[in-house]
Amino acid sequence: MLLMFNVIMSHTLRLSSKINYLFLAYVLVWPVLNKTIIPIDGAGRIGQLLFLISLLFNVLERDFLETMNRKPISLWFIWVIYVTIVWFWCGHNVTEVFESRPVSDVTFVFTRFVTPFYAMLLIAREIRLNEIPLLKWILACYLIFIMLATFCGTSNITDDGRVMSSMGNELPLGAMSMFFWAAYMNLRHKLKTRYVAILFIVAFICILLAATRKAFIGLLIISLFWLIARNKMYKPQKLFILIGVLALLYLGVQYVMDNTALGERFAGTDDAAEIYNTSDIPILNFLGDRAIFYIMGWEIFLEHPWFGIGLSNFQIETGYPLPIHSEYIVQLCEGGIVGSIIFILFYLNILKCIVRVRKSNKDNFGIYLLFLSLFLTVLFINLTAWTYQFPHYFICFGLVIGKSFSLMDRKFAYK
């Protein structure tokens, strides 16, 4: 908390940046704070007010507008406008399905569409202006989020041995995102390696208790790429070290598979596929119980190909008890061809940003590897989860985008 106070009171930050920091803290910390300690403002009016104040202070600043007008951020802005129009056009009152109490349409759109986009935009902009305070601020927010979700949130043990907090899968996936952020700070020599190792253990425990398969694989990908980048194992003379790391990683994964609830969930994938894969497409078997979303989503897409049925309307349309657990199928059947094209262009431009980091300077190869690990991780998670409404991913994307912009634009060089 003292670190956050020092950052926000720094004389080197603009007033607009301080307000942006408060909005980002709200995005990361308030959801868990609201569910654990301060159960007020369920309509999200605090966040909407912070958003409007932030926008008021930023909209006339040149660097803010330049950041917003550059791809891939401008593409996701178009996506937000598009899905909002389609959602209102379709007219389903989906808020009653996902909330314990009904919320307004404005709150629904702000929380699920606007907030992740705006968080990404602010991160990309602030990284270009003053990197170090932002890195410390976001890491502190992640730590508060994890502590509150772990120690203050109500937990329950499911029949299959999973320890779930009040934040559900947001805790393990948030922990994974925190480790990515810490790994980047380490490569920038702003966080010692021993602290990154501690945060890896914290993230691993959160993921292991929740038995979240996608977060587990994501953490493995990011940590492996970080180890390679940190120790420059991509050099030929360190090939044997890399082989040793991979061997230890294999043994660790095998132990988890044989002795934990997470391993049992992986082992049950084939059994779940026999029930949920009602098609004649064998490749869907590896998705387990998520296969049903691909089958039902494709049928809806064929009926509504161009504009889809509107985001979050799958349950209303089909009566199925769960939302679509695949970002790709979400975009296809709920966003249609138009939304899917924007989605694909957005991800292609993120990849272009990562390539720019690789080309900027040979000393940035380690950062390039870390960014690539994030990209591959999100692509994987998209197979079995929807991601468009969760700010954790977009905060990390904002880091990638802002770093790319700062390297390619000399007038926004790092301080």
What's the pLDDT score for residue 410?
54
What's the pLDDT score for residue 24?
96
CA pair distance 180, 16, nearest whole angstrom = 26
pLDDT tens-place string over residues 338-380 = 999 999 999 999 999 999 988 877 778 889 999 999 999 999 9
In the predicted structure, residue 99 carries a pLDDT above the cut 60: no
Report the DSSP beta bridge partners of residue 163: 157
CA pair distance 362, 388, nearest whole angstrom = 33
pLDDT tens-place string over residues 213-250 = 889 999 999 999 998 888 876 666 666 676 777 777 76
At residue 37 the predicted structure's pLDDT band, cuts being 50, 70 and 90, is confident
Query: CA Rg, the chain, in Å?
Result: 21
Poorest-pLDDT segment among 18-22, 84-88, 101-105, 197-201: 101-105
End-to-end CA distance of the chain: give it in Å, rounded.
24
At residue 98 the predicted structure's pLDDT band, cuts being 50, 70 and 90, is very low
- Spatial neighbors of 219 by CB under 8 A, at least 6 apart, are 175, 176, 179, 200, 203, 204, 207
pLDDT tens-place string over residues 320-329 = 888 888 999 9
At residue 170 the predicted structure's pLDDT band, cuts being 50, 70 and 90, is confident
Which structure tokens are listed for 291?
């296969």
Report the DSSP beta bridge partners of residue 164: 156
Which structure tokens are listed for 69?
């007008």
Cβ-contact 124, 396 below 8 angstroms: no
Average pLDDT, stretch 121-141? 93
CA pair distance 76, 65, nearest whole angstrom = 15
Q: Output the average pLDDT for the chain.
A: 83
Q: What is the 3-state secondary structure (H, E, C) of 265-319?
A: HHHCHHHHHHHHCCCCCHHHHHHHHHHHHHHHHHHHHHHCCCCCCCCCCHHHHHC
Determine the angle formed by the axes of helices 62-69 and 73-90, rounding to 10 degrees. Answer: 70
CA pair distance 230, 376, nearest whole angstrom = 18
What's the pLDDT score for residue 169?
81
Note the pTM of the prediction, 2 decimals: 0.90
In the predicted structure, residue 181 carries a pLDDT above the cut 60: yes
In the predicted structure, residue 88 carries a pLDDT above the cut 90: no
Identify the H or E element spanning 211: none
At residue 42 the predicted structure's pLDDT band, cuts being 50, 70 and 90, is low
What's the pLDDT score for residue 290?
82
pLDDT tens-place string over residues 257-278 = 766 777 676 667 666 666 666 6
CA pair distance 65, 182, nearest whole angstrom = 28
Report the DSSP beta bridge partners of residue 156: 164
Cβ-contact 144, 175 below 8 angstroms: no
